[in-house]
Structure formats: structure tokens, C-alpha cells
Amino acid sequence: MTIREGKWDCKTCGRIGNRGPDSYCGSCGSTRPDDVQFYLPEDAAEVTDEKLLAEANAGADWKCSYCSTQNNAFDNFCVSCGNKRNEAQGDAYMQEREIRFDAVNNNPPPAEKTSSPLSRKIKIGLIAAAVSIITLFALIMLTSTINLTVTGFEYSGKVIYEEYKMVTEEDWSLPASAEKLGEFRAIHHYDKIPDGYETKTRDVQVKTGEKKVKVGTKDMGNGYFKDIYETRPVYETRKETYKETRYKDVPVYQTKYKYKMMKWVPGQPYE
């Protein structure tokens, strides 16, 4: 796994880019804060020095519960006060975290917009003006007199009726009240019947191997970052020949009846 050196920014003097493993700011000497956010520059070089690699792989830094000094993971005693590391007494490790390239960025919801007192006054004024105009218009309409004279009216429409008469029809079944005039064979529907095979080609994905893909980095909690890799399959698009069943439509015949019967049917509309 590739190890890279991260950075952190000093909140006291504003210095940007302190070495991740350094516990003190290179400008003002302020202690690296407990809530420090390590980050990895895009051009961060790979760590190859054996001593630094051992320091990185030792694990997250820990904070002395007695004097609050941050110590390297391989230090069993605090470098400031000499207190022995004891997790039971509150010697806490720095937090490790994974930063994946495909992680969803959960942005905080936007703050609600609040209207200023001035804008609220303008809105109230506009509403009051609108109410006044509507009230004035209503009063004018109530006090006006309009005389209307009706000279006549007309009505037009269509009347649709049904008539009971003898009709001749065809159907696949014979109604009980119908008089049969004849019967004949006709195509009722079509069935699809297999009629051989047709050779076709299609594109298919074939696994040809595996490869390691960098999917993120791990903040190791000590100023170093480790590249995260996953093994993913490698596919290749190839042509595949296959047989597809060919079908033909075969008509299915049934008996159809011709008959006559009395039936209510729509008549000719009239105005």
C-alpha cells in the first residue's frame, strides 16, 4: 500500500501546509489541535523512507490524558511528562477515517431565507392597497343601476331515439332469441408456431482478468495517508453467436354464425 504524507493548517497563526506528522506549527509553535483535519495535497509524494514508513504504519497518534501532549503510536510514554500510556485513564487515539472517491458529499441544508422588516412592510402595504381597490370597485358596482330588456329567446337541440327493428348480424356465438340464417368457417385468431431457427450475433461482456483500482485514501490519524485499492474484474466485449427461434403465424378457424333478430338500435336524430 502506498503511504503519502498529509498536511494540516494552523488555526492560531494561519500557516498553511504544516507537515502532517508534526505536532507543532512550524511558524508559531502552537500545538496541533485535537480536532485537526489532515488533508492530502494532490501532488503529495510517496513516502519511501523506512523510518517514516514505520512511523506511519505504527497507527494513530494518541493524546496524553495527564498533560494533553500528542504522541506517536509507537511511544509508550508521553514525550512531555513521561506518563505511561494507559487507555483506561483516557489516553485517546486520533480518529482514523476513509475518504472514498465515490462517497456522497452530504452538504448541509441551505439556511432558510428570512424577510427583512422593510420587505415585510412593503408586502403589507401592497396587500392593503389591493384590498382597498377591490372594496372601492365593489361599492361602485353596488350603487350602479343597469336596465335590461328581454325581447325573446330561442332553443335548439337534437333528439336522439332508438327503434326496435329486425337486424342481421354475424358473431362467434348464436344469441338465444336469434333466428339462424347460416354458418361458415372464418379466421378467429392466429397462433405463433415455431418454424426453425435463425442464427444471430450479439455483444457480451466476458471477464478476462482482474486489476487493482485506487478507490480512495485512508487518514491514518497520524498525519499520513494510505491509498485504498480494490480488486475489480476486467471485462472485454466479444461477439457471441446464438440461435433464436423463428415463428410463423398459423390461422385458427372457428364457426361463425349469421342470424337475424329484433333489437333496439339508434334511430336517425332529428332537430
**pLDDT tens digits, one per residue of 120-132:** 666 677 787 777 7
Cα separation of 176 and 262, whole Å?
A: 12
Percentage with pLDDT > 90 across the chain: 53
Provide the 3-class DSSP secondary structure of residue 31.
strand
Average pLDDT on 52-60 reads 89
More confident residue, 9 or 136: 9
Average pLDDT over residues 25-54: 91
> Averaged over 12-16, what is the pLDDT?
94
Q: Give the pLDDT mean for 75-98.
A: 82
Q: pLDDT band at 74, cuts 50/70/90? A: confident
pLDDT averaged over the chain?
A: 85
Distance CA 34, CA 20 (A): 13
- Residue 41 has what pLDDT? 93
Q: Which residue has the cell 501546509?
A: 17
Identify the CA nearest to 170 among candidates 162, 181, 156: 181
pLDDT of residue 144 exceeding 60: no
CA distances 111 to 106, 107, 108, 114, Å, are 15, 12, 9, 9
Report the distance separating Cα 43 and Cα 51, nearest Å: 22
**Residue 10 pLDDT > 80:** yes
Q: What is the mean predicted confidence (pLDDT) over 207-211?
A: 96
**What is the pLDDT at residue 145?**
63
Quick one: cell of 217?
485514501
Report whether pLDDT(113) > 50.
no
Mean pLDDT of 46-59: 90
Question: What is the mean pLDDT of the segment spanning 205-226?
Answer: 93
Which tops the pLDDT comparison, 176 or 89?
Answer: 176
pTM: 0.52
Cβ–Cβ < 8 Å for 97, 218:
yes
Could you give the 3-state DSSP secondary structure of residue 237?
strand
C-beta separation of 254 from 35 below 8 A = no
Query: What confidence category does residue 253 fall into, taking pLDDT thresholds of 50, 70 and 90?
Result: very high
Residue 159 has pLDDT above 90, yes or no: no
Q: Which of 46-50, 73-77, 127-131, 244-248 has the lowest mean pLDDT?
A: 127-131
Give the residue among 91, 87, 94, 36 at the shortest CA–CA distance from 60. 94
Confidence of residue 169 (pLDDT cuts 50, 70, 90): very high
Q: Name the residue type at position 54.
A: A
pLDDT above 80 for 209: yes
- The CA distance from 78 to 27, in Å, is 24
Examine the pLDDT at 114 and tell me if it is beyond 70. Answer: no
Q: How far apart are CA 36 and CA 7, in angstroms?
A: 10
Picking from 217, 221, 5, the residue whose alpha carbon sits closest to that of residue 92 is 221
Query: Burial of 216 by CB count in 10 Å (0-12 exposed, 13-18 middle, 19+ buried)?
Result: middle
Residue 95 has pLDDT above 90, yes or no: no
Which amino acid would we find at residue 126?
Answer: L
